[in-house]
Amino acid sequence: MALRRILHYPEPLLKEKSVAVTEFNDELRQLATDMAETMYAAPGVGLAAPQVGELKRMVVIDCSDSEEPNDLIVAVNPEIIASEGDSLEEEGCLSVPGFCANVKRAETVTLRYQDVEGNTHERTANGLLGICMQHELDHLEGILFVDRLSPLKRSLFRKKYMKMLKEREQQNEA
């Protein structure tokens, strides 16, 4: 088991499309274990393989709160096969530290995915879990939640974020 380094915006790899998983082997299972460990350590509620530098269609999600038992979903080759309604909720991302914004999503989604053994599952979710599914699947297409903001909000985000990065660099140099 190992923690993986999480890539941060504006890392170019985060803009790339991930490739379907065809081999359900030990390497895939190891990556899933590492991703779950990295997500819990962050802590976060979801992590997609490209965020740790692997362009594979796999995400890990756990939206249970600390009072509830773990509800880890490891979704390989996930697809949203149905969606309904609208929601507008605040999102953040482990690859965009220190920034949150409201994002438009579907309210309820049904996810079809394979587990690390290749078995197919379906799960319908709304609320935080439904949003998280949509957010993590976007990562597999090279889309970050900030890409879903209006052009004005996106450009404000970029300015603010790049300024923050610069300030951090200067602090590190000092």
Query: Which residues are CB-contacts of 135 (< 8 A; sequence separation ≥ 6)?
Result: 46, 91, 93, 103, 105, 145
Is residue 146 a contact point for Ni ion (CB under 5 A)? no
Binding to Ni ion by CB under 5 A, coded x per residue (else -) over 103-142, reads ----------------------------------------
* Nearer of residues 24 and 97 to Ni ion, judged by Cβ: 97
Q: Is 122 a catalytic residue?
A: no
Q: How many residues bind Ni ion, per CB under 5 A? A: 1
Which residue carries 């979903």 as its tokens?
Answer: 73
Map 64-124 to HEC letters: CCCCCCCCCEEEEEEEEEEEECCEEEEECCCCCCCCCEEEEECCEEEEEEECCCCCEEEEE
Of 76, 93, 133, 146, which lies in the binding site for Ni ion, with binding defined by CB under 5 A? Answer: 93
Q: Per the residue annotation, which of 84, 90, 136, 173 is the catalytic one?
A: 136
Angle at 121 between CA 58 and CA 26, to 5 degrees: 45
Shortest spacing between CB 26 and Ni ion, in angstroms:
26
Q: Which residues pair with 114 in a beta bridge?
A: 76, 120
Query: Closest separation between CB of residue 174 and Ni ion, Å?
Result: 30
* Closer to Ni ion by Cβ: residue 88 or 118: 88
- Name which of 67 and 106 has its Cβ closer to Ni ion: 106
Residue in the shown chain whose Cβ atom is closest to Ni ion = 93
Determine the Cα–Cα distance for residues 87 and 99; give it in Å rounded to an integer. 19
Which range in 15-23, 35-43, 62-70, 92-100 contacts Ni ion by CB under 5 A?
92-100
CB of 7 to Ni ion, least distance (A): 11
A 10 A CB-CB count for 162 gives 12
Q: Between the CA of residue 138 and those of 16, 89, 104, 122, 132, what are the distances in Å?
A: 11, 16, 13, 18, 10
Nearer to Ni ion, 93 or 137 (CB): 93
Q: How far is the CB of 18 from Ni ion (least distance, A)?
A: 13
Contact residues toward Ni ion (CB under 5 A) are 93
**Active site members:** 136
